[in-house]
Amino acid sequence: MRYFSNFIDSGDHFTYVCLSYFIVFLILFLMFFLSYTKTKKLEKEFTLLSKNETKK
């Protein structure tokens, strides 16, 4: 806990560290989110197409 409270009181360094963590997690979250939505969209499209194919 002492390390953490010293870190919070570290002024400029606190901003630099928080900014770094925020940017990394944002990039990784976007990567995950875009991959997830792409997969779901394609899954839907594929199910629809295969249904149409079997009807024919």
Does 51 bind other proteins (CB under 8 A)? Our answer is: no
Does 24 bind other proteins (CB under 8 A)? Our answer is: yes
Burial 18-40 (b: 16+ CB within 10 A, else e): eeeeeeeeeeeeeeeeeeeeeee
Distance of CA 6 to the CA centre of its chain: 30
Size of the site for other proteins (CB under 8 A): 32
Q: Which chain residues interact with other proteins by CB under 8 A?
A: 1, 3-4, 6-7, 10, 12-14, 16-17, 19-21, 23-24, 27-28, 30-32, 35-36, 38-39, 42-43, 45-46, 49-50, 53
